[in-house]
Amino acid sequence: MDSAIIIPLLAAAVQSGTPILYATLGEIFTEKSGVLNLGVEGCMIIGALTGFIVALATGSPVLAFVIAGFAGMTASAVHGVVCLWFKGNQVVSGLALTILGAGLANYLGTSYVGQIAPGFKPVPVPLLSQIPALGPIFFNHDPLVYLTYCIPPLMWLYLTRTRHGLSLRAAGEYPAAATAAGLNVAAYRWCGILVGGFFMGLGGAYLSLAYTHLWTNNLTGGRGWIAVALVIFAFWRPGRAVFGAYLFGGIMALQLRLQASGTQLPSSLLLMLPYALTVIVLVMSSWRQGANEAPAALGVNVEPID
């Protein structure tokens, strides 16, 4: 493979990694506050449909993208109500949210199948896109990809350098101590769920507004689950999530490109790659003790402060 193949491959890796990246960042944020939200897929697909409908109705992709975030937030609020108000099981609630989201989106979206919504188009960044290799790989995409370049550093700053972010992590690490220190743990967990859901909604909308401009049943195609696995791979660090998302995007793009370049490997084996990689990544992460970096109170419900 020469550079004529590798550069488009890497560019495709960035693009197909972007929806996963949004969702992974959202899930990291939620889990940092101590709540496990397995409903990523559900939040994503509701965001995807909402974004599509709003874009179609208003003709404004930017507005559609933002509203899609709020739709993802609303979906994740269902999880919040179950886990924070009623102390429900977080795993069960998350799974239910995935099923609910997919069913609801398929039902409500039926009449939108086959329409084209106005969406985001690639906008090369002046100057930066002229850099050999790096330009076409990173700076020849739609604006939503550039947005993801800014989010991980900001999230890192928030989680490690701000009082609010440290309190949110305290709610996820040791809620009893956080409560003793006078923090309202439930409020921080609500913050984690809602902001996380917002990012998941954006990830879904990326699929219906930029990656394609179409709506279809199951548009997210399991990307939400890859995001859940990537959080573990990333050791709950936003920076590593970028690497992980592009790695997965790259594998997805690679298997199609291997086929296009005329490999004799059976396509079934190639299609297995992303999923095989998920399993390998999870095994490797636990070997490297990375799993110990999970927020200590992840998935543990807290009692409200009276």
Partner 1 sequence: MRLLKALIVVMMSLSLSTAIAAEKELNVGFIYVSPIGDAGWSYAHDQGRKALAEMPGVKTSYVEAVAEGPDSERVMLNMARKGYDVIFATSFGYMDPMLKVAKQFPKTKFMHCSGFKMADNMGNYFGRMYQARYLSGMVAGGMTKSKTIGYVAAFPIPEVIRGINAFTLGVQAVNPDAVVRVVWTKTWYDPATEKEAAKSLLDVGADVIAQHQDSPGPQEAAQEKGVYSIGYNSDMTAFAPKAHLTAPIWNWAPFYKSVIEQVQKGTWKAESVWPGMDTGIVDLAPFSAMVPKELQDKVMAAKADIIAGKNKVFVGPIKDQKGAVKIAEGVMAPDQDLLGMTWFVQGIVGTTE
In angstroms, give the least distance from the CB of 41 to partner 1. Answer: 14
The footprint of partner 1 on residues 118-147 (CB under 8 A) is none
Among 58, 110, 130, 286, binds partner 1 (CB under 8 A): 110
- Both structure tokens of 132: 């050999």
116 is a site residue for partner 1 (CB under 8 A) = yes
- From candidates 95, 271, 273, 298, binder to partner 1 by CB under 8 A: 271
Shortest Cβ distance from residue 264 to partner 1 (Å)? 6
Of 89 and 212, nearer to partner 1 (C-beta) is 212
Q: How far is the CB of 210 from partner 1 (least distance, A)?
A: 10
Closer residue to partner 1 in complex, CB, 116/154: 116
Nearer to partner 1, 148 or 285 (CB): 148
**Which of 70, 112, 156, 275: binder of partner 1 (CB under 8 A)?**
112
Asked if 104 touches partner 1 (CB under 8 A), the answer is no
Q: Does 3 bind partner 1 (CB under 8 A)?
A: no
Residue that has been written with the tokens 């990173």 in this structure: 138
**Residues composing the chain:** 306
Told to check if 12 binds partner 1 by CB under 8 A, we report yes
CB of 225 to partner 1, least distance (A): 15
Residue type, 44: M
Binding to partner 1, residues 211-270 (CB under 8 A):
211-214, 216-219, 221, 252-253, 256-257, 259-268
Contact 91, 299 (CB under 8 A): yes
Site string for partner 1, 161-200 (x = CB under 8 A): ----------------------------------------
- Rounded to a whole number of angstroms, the minimum distance from the CB of residue 65 to partner 1 is 17
Burial of 135 (0-12, 13-18, 19+ CB in 10 A): middle
* Closest listed residue to residue 212, CA positions, set 151, 142, 271: 142
Q: For residue 64, what are the contacts with CB-CB under 8 A and spacing of at least 6? A: 50, 51, 52, 53, 54, 55, 58, 117, 205, 209
And the tokens for 251?
A: 């594998």
Q: Which residues contact 42 (CB under 8 A, 6 or more apart)?
A: 75, 97, 98, 99, 100, 101, 102, 224
For residue 305, give every residue at least 6 positions away whose Cβ sits within 8 Å of its Cβ, in sequence order, or none.
179, 184, 185, 186
Query: Which position has the token pair 């200590």?
Result: 296
* Count of beta carbons in the 10 Å neighbourhood of residue 246: 21
The answer to whether 2 contacts partner 1 (rule: CB under 8 A) is: no
**Smallest gap, in angstroms, from Cβ of residue 106 to partner 1?**
7
How far is Cα 30 from Cα 196, in angstroms, rounded to an integer?
5
- Binding residues (CB under 8 A) for partner 1: these are 5, 8-9, 12, 16, 106, 110-116, 207, 211-214, 216-219, 221, 252-253, 256-257, 259-268, 271
